[in-house]
């Protein structure tokens, strides 16, 4: 966020959880809030308390306040700013470009198939902003399932 000083340097955040997570497949939670226009990718339950550490005006790492372990990624202004700047993310975000839907069952299956792909592409697109933490996060979600 412009003009806001981070609570701590990014280097203080820990990636041990990401490394452990990348070894054992686990659940991945992807949530989009259209009112806030924010996408969250979480390696922990969405009910888990997290703190956002912004690395630029729209992208932030989500971490556990007690341990400083990175457990997620948040992208604000997702559809308005992030998507237009990242063609690969835009391509996988649009269901009309990736599948044919005939009924609600098709929709459910399409969302289940696309969710990990969307998470991976968003993480890859944000990697350069996140540095080493971004690479660890991308590796962790490659082994995740919805």
Task: Give this prediction's pTM.
Answer: 0.84
End-to-end CA distance of the chain: 30
Instruction: Look at residue 50 in the predicted model and tell me its pLDDT.
Output: 97
Helix (H, G, I), strand (E, B) or coil at 106: helix
Whether residue 2 is predicted with pLDDT greater than 70 in this model: the reply is: no
Whether residue 8 is predicted with pLDDT greater than 60 in this model: the reply is: yes
In angstroms, the CA 22 to CA 69 distance is 14
What are the φ/ψ torsions at residue 93 (nearest 5 degrees)?
-70, -35
Which tokens is 110 given? 């399409």
- Give the pLDDT confidence of 76-120 residue by residue, as tens digits: 999 999 999 999 999 888 876 666 777 888 878 878 888 888 988
Task: With CA atoms as reference, report the closest residue to 132 among 11, 8, 51.
Answer: 11
Instruction: Look at residue 145 in the predicted model and tell me its pLDDT.
Output: 62
Average pLDDT over residues 114-127: 88
- Give the pLDDT confidence of 17-58 residue by residue, as tens digits: 888 877 766 788 999 999 999 999 999 999 999 999 999 889
Task: With CA atoms as reference, report the closest residue to 127 among 83, 73, 80.
Answer: 73
Instruction: Look at residue 132 in the predicted model and tell me its pLDDT.
Output: 78
- Give the pLDDT confidence of 53-81 residue by residue, as tens digits: 999 889 999 999 999 999 999 999 999 99
Whether residue 1 is predicted with pLDDT greater than 70 in this model: the reply is: no
Q: Are 38 and 32 in contact (CB under 8 A)?
A: yes
What's the mean pLDDT when you consider all of the chain?
Answer: 86
Instruction: Look at residue 6 in the predicted model and tell me its pLDDT.
Output: 67
């Amino acid at each position: 966020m412009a003009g806001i000083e981070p609570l701590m340097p990014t280097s203080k955040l820990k990636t041990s959880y990401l490394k452990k997570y990348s070894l054992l497949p686990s659940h991945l939670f992807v949530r989009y809030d259209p009112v806030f226009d924010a996408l969250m990718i979480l390696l922990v339950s969405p009910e888990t308390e997290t703190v956002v550490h912004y690395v630029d005006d729209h992208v932030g790492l989500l971490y556990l306040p007690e341990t400083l372990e990175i457990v997620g990624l948040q992208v604000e202004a997702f559809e308005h700013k992030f998507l237009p700047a990242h063609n690969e993310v835009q391509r996988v975000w649009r269901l009309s470009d990736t599948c044919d839907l005939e009924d609600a069952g098709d929709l459910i299956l399409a969302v289940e198939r696309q969710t990990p792909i969307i998470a991976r592409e968003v993480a890859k697109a944000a990697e350069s902003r996140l540095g080493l933490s971004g690479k660890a996060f991308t590796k962790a979600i490659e082994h995740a399932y919805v």
